[in-house]
Amino acid sequence: MNILICPQAFKGGLRGIEAAQAIARGLGRVFPQARLVLLPVADGGDGTLETLVSAVPSPLTGEGQDGGESPVQQPGGRLFHTAVTGPLGEPLQADWGVMDARGQANRQTAVIELARASGLALLSEGRRDPRRATTYGTGQLLRAALDAGYRRIIIGLGGSATNDGGAGIAQALGARFLDRAGRELPTGGAALSRLAEIDLVPLDPRLRETRILAAADVANPLCGPEGASATYGPQKGATPEVVTELDAALYHFAQVVRRDLGVEVLARLRMGAAGGAGAGLFALLRAEVGSGADIVCDALGLDAALEGADLAVVGEGRLDWQTAYDKAPMAVARRAQRRGVPVIAVAGSFGPGYEALLGQGIALAEAAAPAGMPLAEALARAPELVAEAAQRAAQRAQALLPTR
């Protein structure tokens, strides 16, 4: 029997490969002779860089699936460290990487996580300021990838501290954003309210021969009640007044983009990803902005890995109604369903609406954390609890599998 194990990271608990290893241990107790293939996935948010740079499908058969050493993911690509400007102008070292050339559709592909240079996690809660925060450092990572010769670049858009419409990325690559007096605007989302002209003539010419895939982990539009500012501004430090200011600034930015570049961004989904960086990448750098989970699954060759699989196992930290929207478990489930491969899920916990997923490609689900267990204890025992949940799920799944 062939089982494909493809969870995403359990936020705050397990990295993607660690979750896959724990699931493998649990499955091995029920299916000791199965061939288990570990292929962690991501959705453009946390863990995307590690998943794409490190992930090479790692098969395990029979022995060693439980007890002893944990299965180890084979080495994949390479990591680089680049000095960049952080979200509030502070210098920092940020990682980016290159995928392993043996994988499908990933030769000469660089991978950037916006959060590594422009992320919310880089700032303490008291320092968050989406009026000033910039994606400039992410543009510096993109420039480093261009300098190294890469012309296919995946950018994961999750986890941003910013609300600048991706203007900082373009500024780092030569674009000029001018006010009415012809002066360059400072970085940050609030400054976009004074934007009078976008000058892309100085933009790095290498971008014309570069394919950029922007992996968005959300589908929000740029502006409005479901837009970047209103939905994610508060967690980045925006008061209600600042949310209104930033939303107006992004709306003005969109009007100038349409006038100067002939590109409409207000009506498109995913333009609000990463504080509007989805819109900036699309309009200014001609990036392809799509479902992060699908972009990652394509890059990892998930469809090929599903061929011949008898069962697929997905997972994430919390399974709830949001999982149905552009999240990795559902991206895997949709692809598996098209091939007639049953899917089971292992989650850290269940949230409201998770039942609706049982019928959208996921046959059954098990939660790792018992009801009422304190979060700190659940995180500390995550590998053990996930393995036990996987064992229970495998026992329940036996009726779904073909008889051999």
pLDDT higher than threshold 60 for residue 62: no
pLDDT higher than threshold 90 for residue 107: no
- CA distances to 20, 72, 316, 334 from 34, rounded to whole Å, are 15, 17, 23, 23
pLDDT higher than threshold 70 for residue 312: yes
Q: Domain extents for the chain?
A: 2-40+310-400, 78-293
For the ranges 38-47, 55-64, 113-122, 376-385, the one whose mean pLDDT is highest: 113-122
pLDDT higher than threshold 50 for residue 26: yes
State the pLDDT confidence band at 63, using cuts at 50, 70 and 90. Answer: very low
Domain 2-40+310-400 sits in CATH 3.40.50.970: no
pLDDT higher than threshold 70 for residue 77: yes
pTM for this one? 0.90
Topology of the domain covering 78-293: Glycerate kinase, domain 2 (3.90.1510)
Which pLDDT belongs to residue 201?
A: 97
